[in-house]
Amino acid sequence: MPEPDNRHVVTVEINGARKTVAVEARRLLVHLIREDLGLTGTHVGCDTSQCGACTVEIDGQAIKSCTVLAVMADGASITTIEGLTDTGAELSPVQAAFHEHHALQCGFCTPGMVMSVRQLLRDQPNPSEHDIRHGLAGNICRCTGYHNIVRAVESLASKGYQS
Amino acid sequence: MIPAAFDYVRASSLAQAIDLLRDDPDGTKLLAGGHTLLPALKLRLASPELLIDIGGIAELKGIEISETGIRIGALTTHAELFASEPLHGELPIFRQAASLIADPQVRNRGTIGGSLANADPAADWPAVVVALQAEIEIVGPNGHRSVAARDFFTDIFSTVLEPDEILVSVHIPRPRTGMHFIYRKIRHPASGFAVVAIAVGVRLQGGAVDQISIGVTGAANHAFTGQHASDFLLGKTLSRDNIDKAATLLSETTECLSDRYASAEYRANLIRVETRRALLALSS
């Protein structure tokens, strides 16, 4: 059997750029993103797949990157919050809606929340309030009480937003 | 939280996975969606030497619907089970149950095979496959075998799977015309797991029950079939009185778990209430 600390070469396309990193098998995807690739917009909250702060997209699906190994993402296409706009200087439509509706306070949950909203509106372009709350059940916010997040999503849906 | 060090191999076929697994079955874990295994590794509840990633094996994927039945590959995610229109057309209970599992991100990764093999006493799919009278297909070094879902779960986090075997698929006989299934769940508000959940299938013929099956999860140390209640209702009408008697029978014949969230008495009551609600919904 190979040594347990053998390194594995992982190649991902992240926000359109191809990156190759050698990691331990036990390296979590969120640590690859934050520490190896320096994309610190993706946060670690609970580290137990409850809070959703680490949500990114793998091959177009919102997932919790604290509960995926970096080696499992080899060959995958990943989008993080940094990848939603070309330069990072302007706001993407979901971010702009959050800004407009005051859907964040401390902002810690926001990157994960934004990634989940993209998935929610892909799956349900015209969600009810219940659909929105149910669709964001994997993201915990301790500041807003969620009402303004729901309003931001409703405004995106009413404008026919497509992620 | 960082797991203890392990090595990792991505298997490209079922045959390769079985070969890799035989070397050291007790020191190896199979990795599918990882949404139970990785939290366990991070808490160091398990420290395997090797993870075999079976996530890319094509033979374990897909939902196939044929004349004789439905085959669901072990790697099918909760989100795929929710989204599949052909499956929803045959058995709406899959979408109903999938929508009650965890949250959207977890549903995108977690798999039905992982859920069944892990046999969490509060997982959802065990009750559903028991009620659907499914067969669990297993492959090991000695070939294929098939086990009835009702016999698959043996104890808390325990199944009939041997350490060198892999759960391949779930086979569901095509439901008889007129058979309707429902899933009712009392969801733990924090974990999303079932405090108690009941899957019930009924067919009424001339006002009387001529087919019935019940699967229960969350209540006891593993999912089980509510045979006493089914036997009682067979041939009877779904009158309020018969429903009450069946629900009480199921509740009283279950040895319920007790934990910090729910006492055994409370779980027994939930079985009674949820069985009654499920049968009432199926009676109309």
Q: pLDDT by residue (tens digit) across B103-135?
A: 999 999 999 999 999 999 999 999 999 999 999
Domain presence at residue B2: no
* Closest of A136, A56, A58 to residue B77, by C-alpha: A58
Task: Kindly tell me if the per-residue pLDDT of B257 is higher than 90.
Answer: yes
pTM confidence score: 0.96
Same domain membership, residue A45 and residue A17 = yes
A1 lies in some domain: no
Residue B1 is assigned to a structural domain of this protein:
no
Contact B137, B60 (CB under 8 A): no
ipTM attached to this prediction: 0.95
CATH number, domain with residue B36: 3.30.43.10
Tell me if chain A has a CB within 8 Å of the CB of B49: yes
Which of B119-158 are b and which e, b meaning 16 or more Cβ less than 10 Å from the residue's Cβ?
bbbbbbbbbbbbbbbbbbbbbbeeeeeebebbebbeeeee
- State the average pLDDT over residues A49-74: 98
Burial (CB count within 10 angstroms: exposed 0-12, middle 13-18, buried 19+), residue B230: buried
Q: Within its chain, how far is the Cα of B41 from the centroid?
A: 22
The pLDDT value recorded for residue A1 is 47
Q: Which one of A10, A32, A49 makes the best mutation probe of the B interface by having the most chain B beta carbons within 10 Å? A: A49
Element (H, E) at A123: helix A110-123
Q: Between residues 166 and 225 of chain B, which touch chain A (CB distance below 8 Å)? A: none
| Beta-carbon separation of B34 and A2 below 8 A | no
One domain for residues A95 and A73:
no
Q: Give me the domain span that covers residue A117.
A: 89-158
pLDDT tens, position by position, A21-33: 999 999 999 999 9
Query: Residue A71: inside a domain, yes or no?
Result: yes
User: Residue A38 sits in a domain of what CATH number?
Assistant: 3.10.20.30
Determine whether the interchain pair B104/A135 forms a contact, defined as Cβ–Cβ distance below 8 Å: yes
- For chain B, give the mean pLDDT: 97
Residues A119 and A148 in one domain: yes
Tell me which of A30, A60, A81 is where a domain ends.
A81
Quick one: A55 and A96 in the same domain?
no
pLDDT in tens, B191-205: 999 999 999 999 999
Question: Which residues in B lie closer than 8 A to residue A111 (C-beta atoms)?
Answer: none
Containing domain of residue B183, as a range? 179-283
What's the Cα-to-Cα distance from B112 to each of B72, B94, B96, B241, rounded to whole Å?
8, 11, 14, 36
pLDDT band at residue A86 using 50, 70 and 90 as cut-offs: confident
If one counts every other C-beta atom within 10 angstroms of the C-beta of residue A11, the result is: 12
Q: How far apart are CA B105 and CA A139, in angstroms?
A: 9
Residue B91 lies in a domain: yes
pLDDT tens across B163-215, in order?
999 999 999 998 788 999 999 999 999 999 999 999 999 999 999 999 999 99
- Contact residues for B153 (Cβ-Cβ < 8 A; gap 6+): B119, B126, B159, B222, B223, B224
What local confidence, expressed as pLDDT, does residue A5 receive?
57
Q: End of a domain among A18, A52, A81?
A: A81
DSSP B5: P
Name which of B61, B93, B54 is nearest B80 in CA terms: B61
Whether residue A47 sits in one domain with residue A24 = yes
Query: Does A59 reside within a domain?
Result: yes
Number of domains in chain B: 3
Q: Does A130 map to a domain?
A: yes
Residues of A in contact with B42 (CB under 8 A): 47-48
CATH number of residue B263's parent domain: 3.30.390.50
How far is it, in rounded angstroms, from Cα B152 to Cα B148?
Answer: 6
Handedness of CA A82, A84, A87, A90 (dihedral sign): negative
Q: What order do you get walking across the sheet with A61-64 strand by strand?
A: A17-24, A7-14, A77-79, A55-58, A61-64
Domain at A145, CATH number: 1.10.150.120
The structural domain count of chain A equals: 2
